[in-house]
């Protein structure tokens, strides 16, 4: 029996790749809406599988699909999908955890190194109407990699890739991840701590690689950030709500933090009232100039990664719809 899969966004110019992956067993329907609420009942009536990238899927949305059996999030994070609603309707939720791994890890290290080597500081200083002196600067932001501890929150695929890169740049790498099996850290040659407090207290440069869950929301709080040694740098390519951005702004302004690099914000795209950190960045406030980098949730992107999303998402949906067995399933306990 042919299954129907609905793509709610028109992400690609044609359906050549989808037809090759799905074959005759799956019929693909394309729509292009900004919110699933905009779908007509006729669009949803025969849908067995739903593909989403940017869209949230709420309990109200699930009710629109009487035959739905699987949702594939075309990315790693699944925090925009109402998992309780999916479970109650017996809808399988899958993600695509193996695209963009190297890109996000590269981006995290690029943010850290651009800050720690003073590149952003010199960038801003040398393009002022009255350029700064043609010389190095002395600032807590600049620090030799080999005397720093690079702290990683989350030692999954991306966190591990970031750890290996940080090691290559001569950082001492320490990780915190209570869900990784014992010995995971030994496989990549990093140290491990059993509490977030212990990580923060010894971390000079922090890189966040945890998923957004009930447990991790707000985990990098003001109290946690204040545990870092003065002159620290915080980098996040994970999810915005994990870290207190108002605390980041305050601690950067006060000099407790020397630099911040973010690819994610609590609300994306940002809407008014925007966080103080973003406002100051756009206004080029002196306290953040050269010390703050914000990129628009773009860490994952290369043309190659964009193609991986397409292929791997279709393969994941086909495995769920046709077999031989589902893959990348997000089980109910993985909140």
The model's confidence at residue 252, banded by pLDDT at 50, 70 and 90, is very high
Q: Are 27 and 6 in contact (CB under 8 A)?
A: no
Whether 256 is catalytic is no
- At 228 the pLDDT is 98
Summarize pLDDT for 5-42 with one digit per residue, the tens.
999 998 888 888 999 999 998 999 999 999 999 999 99
Kindly state which CATH superfamily the domain 3-99+303-330 is placed in.
NAD(P)-binding Rossmann-like Domain (3.40.50.720)
pLDDT cut 70: percent of the chain above it: 99
Indicate if the pLDDT at residue 213 is higher than 80: yes
- At 334 the pLDDT is 66
**Which is the catalytic residue, given 55, 239, 310, 318?**
239
- At 33 the pLDDT is 94
Distances, alpha carbon 325 to alpha carbons 2, 229, 290, 315, in Å: 17, 48, 50, 11
The model's confidence at residue 331, banded by pLDDT at 50, 70 and 90, is confident
Summarize pLDDT for 181-198 with one digit per residue, the tens.
999 999 999 999 999 999
Whether 291 is catalytic is no
Indicate if the pLDDT at residue 1 is higher than 90: no
3-state DSSP assignment of residue 200: helix
Whether 55 is catalytic is no
**Vertex 106: Cα angle to 103 and 110 (nearest 5):** 135
Average pLDDT over residues 101-118: 97
- At 177 the pLDDT is 97
Average pLDDT over residues 223-252: 98
Q: What's the CATH fold of domain 101-294?
A: Rossmann fold (3.40.50)
- At 131 the pLDDT is 85
Average pLDDT over residues 102-130: 95
**Which is the catalytic residue, given 40, 268, 304, 307?**
268
Residues of the chain with CATH 3.40.50.720: 3-99+303-330, 101-294
Other CB atoms within a 10 A radius of the CB of residue 116 amount to 25
**DSSP E strands: which ranges in 193-256?**
205-208, 232-236
Summarize pLDDT for 282-293 with one digit per residue, the tens.
999 999 999 999
**Which is the catalytic residue, given 54, 227, 297, 315?**
297
Phi, psi of 232 (to 5 degrees): -75, 165
Summarize pLDDT for 285-314 with one digit per residue, the tens.
999 999 999 999 999 999 999 999 999 999
Burial of 96 (0-12, 13-18, 19+ CB in 10 A): buried
Tokens (6 digits) for 60: 């109200």
């Amino acid at each position: 029996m042919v299954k129907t899969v609905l793509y709610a966004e028109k992400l690609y110019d044609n359906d050549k790749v989808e037809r090759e992956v799905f074959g005759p067993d799956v019929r693909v329907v394309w729509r292009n809406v900004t919110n699933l609420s905009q779908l007509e009942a006729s669009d949803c009536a025969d849908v067995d599988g739903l593909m989403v990238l940017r869209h949230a899927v709420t309990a109200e949305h699930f009710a629109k699909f009487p035959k739905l059996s699987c949702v594939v999030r075309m990315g790693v994070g699944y925090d925009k999908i109402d998992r309780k609603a999916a479970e109650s309707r017996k809808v399988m939720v899958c993600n695509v955890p193996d695209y963009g791994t190297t890109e996000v890890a590269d981006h995290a290290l690029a943010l850290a190194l651009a800050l720690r080597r003073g590149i952003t500081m010199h960038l801003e200083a040398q393009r002022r109407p009255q350029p700064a002196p043609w010389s190095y600067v002395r600032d807590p932001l600049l620090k030799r990699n080999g005397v720093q501890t690079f702290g990683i929150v989350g030692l999954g695929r991306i966190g591990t890739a970031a750890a290996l890169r940080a090691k290559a740049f001569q950082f001492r790498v320490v990780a915190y991840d209570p869900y990784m099996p014992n010995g995971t850290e030994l496989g990549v040659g990093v140290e491990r701590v059993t509490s977030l407090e212990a990580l923060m207290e010894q971390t000079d440069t922090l890189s966040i690689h945890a998923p957004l869950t009930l447990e991790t929301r707000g985990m990098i709080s003001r109290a946690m950030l204040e545990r870092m040694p003065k002159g620290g740098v915080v980098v996040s390519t994970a999810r915005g709500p994990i870290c207190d951005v108002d605390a980041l702004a305050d601690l950067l302004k006060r000099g407790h933090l020397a630099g911040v690099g973010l690819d994610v914000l609590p609300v994306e795209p940002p809407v008014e009232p925007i966080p103080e950190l973003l406002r100051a960045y756009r206004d080029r406030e002196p306290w953040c100039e050269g010390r703050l980098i914000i990129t628009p949730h773009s860490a994952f992107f290369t043309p190659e990664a964009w193609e991986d999303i397409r292929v791997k998402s279709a393969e994941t949906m086909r495995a769920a719809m046709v077999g031989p067995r589902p893959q990348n399933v997000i089980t109910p306990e993985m909140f």
